[in-house]
Amino acid sequence: MAKKSQARTWFLVHSWLALPVWFFLLIICVTGTLATVSQEIIWLANPDVRANKPSDDAQRLTHGQIIDAIDQSAPEVIVRSIRRPDEGHFALNVQATYPDGSSPTLYVNPYTGDIQGVSPQFDFRQFTRALHGWWLVPFTNGFSWGWYLVSFMALPMLVSLITGLVVYKRFWKGFLKPRLRFNQGARIFWGDFHRLSGIWSIWFIAVISITGMWFLVQAVLFDNQISISTEGVPPVIARDVVPLAASAEAVPRIGLDQAVAIAKERVPGLDVSSVSLPGYAYGHVSISGRGNYPLMFQSVEVNPYTGDVDKVRLLSDRSGLEFVTESMRPLHTGDFGGLWVKLIWFVFGLILSMMVLSGLLIWSKRTAKATAAVVSKRKPTRQSASSLEHTPVNQS
């Protein structure tokens, strides 16, 4: 009995030491849920991020027209890139350079070309993603230990999903006859909620845990200088093709809209979301966007002097391993199908967070009861031992 009591005590100590792990996992789930809609939260809080139409029949400007509008309003600004968010109600993100050397990201109205504001270097979206992804631990030589710690939690999450399905016999009945009892106490309610939310979130937990494990593998590969990329060396324009001119106006020679049209002709169905202008004389106009497969980008490198397509990166150019691994991040964040996909990821993120919270409550209550039971059993033993010490011995 003494050995059983001692083992029970150590088990309770072990259970209480798991409390920080529960809270850590809960914070990861909550911050990840917020990160999914962080861009939308910024849209609600900051009017500069919104793409307001000047009129109901207003049409979006082309990339070339955006640069022309910026040149008229701020001629000192040099545009480096233009990125269009997936949702149409967001302003364009324009990377620009000022004469003082600063390179801010500008919010530009896609209908008028007006500069509406400047993006902070570390906004709410970046904060939530950094807090969720690596707990704000700085990167020094390679990935931070915060990244490893967070991504490692995907492994117990996947194991808990598998063991939960094994323990919960005939779990598929929860789809046909869901049960959530409200009038039988908190323990019954949280138990039903934990099982029910787990059943309906099977696909989501599997997606989040598997993609999260890839982030761990990605860090290990990177920190050990192991690459699985088949992209090859970036193209560089031959020296004899670059015109000899001291004036910067000679670069590029073709219009930006023409370069975009060339890219779309080369890759049919390309939904252009990002355009980067050459950063030096031998650079290309880089155009990228999604196609029929929304989880990955395709890109085209256009020669700014001749209009030739010097490099194309299509879905078919990826290896099977790259096709899988490049799909991991958008599957994890839900950032691939617009607002509705984000809302789905947000709702199931809330369910997952509540499921972790319900598991924490169930676990803590059981552990607290077991601890109280052990303490209560020991008190009478000590009292009885004390009473035996003071009991007079019969001398007869």
Model confidence at 246, pLDDT cuts 50, 70, 90, reads low
Tell me the Cα Rg of the chain.
29
Query: How far is the C-alpha of 269 from the C-alpha of 291, rounded, in Å?
Result: 6
Residue 218 banded pLDDT, cuts 50, 70, 90: very high
Whole-number pLDDT of residue 392: 52
Q: Which residue has the tokens 């400007």?
A: 61
Q: What is the spatial distance between Cα 206 and Cα 199, in angstroms, rounded to a whole number?
A: 11
> Is residue 376 predicted with pLDDT exceeding 60?
yes
For residues 276 and 269, give the distance between their C-alpha atoms in angstroms, rounded to a whole number: 19
Please state which of the ranges 4-8, 177-181, 273-277, 301-305 shows the lowest mean pLDDT: 4-8
Q: Cis before residue 268, ω within 30 degrees of 0?
A: no
User: Out of 221-235, 260-274, 283-297, 352-366, which region has the weakest mean confidence (pLDDT)?
Assistant: 352-366
Q: In the chain, where are the structural domains located?
A: 27-34+41-227+341-354, 231-317
* pLDDT interval class at 17 (50, 70, 90): low
What local confidence, expressed as pLDDT, does residue 160 receive? 84
Q: In 3-state terms, the chain is what percent helix, strand and coil (to 5)? A: 55, 10, 35
3-state secondary structure of 117: strand
CA nearest 105: which of 332, 162, 260, 90?
90
Residue 384 has pLDDT above 70, yes or no: no
Q: 389 in the Ramachandran plot: left (φ > 0), alpha (ψ -120 to 50) or beta?
A: alpha
Q: How confident is the model at residue 314 (pLDDT cuts 50, 70, 90)?
A: very high
Give me the pLDDT at residue 294, please. Answer: 92
Percent pLDDT > 70 in the chain is 88
Q: For the chain, where are the E strands, in sequence order?
A: 78-83, 92-97, 105-108, 115-119, 271-276, 285-290, 297-302, 309-313
Residue written as token pair 């908190």: 186
Query: Looking at per-residue confidence, does 246 or 50 come out higher?
Result: 50
- CATH number of the domain at 231-317, out of 2.60.40, 3.40.50, 3.40.33, 3.10.450? 3.10.450
What's the average model confidence in pLDDT over 268-274?
A: 95
**What is the structure's pLDDT at 12?**
61
Beta-strand relationship, 285-290 and 78-83: unpaired
For residue 242, give Cα distances in angstroms to 76, 79, 173, 277: 25, 21, 69, 15
* Backbone phi, psi, residue 114, to 5°: -75, 140
pLDDT of residue 18: 64
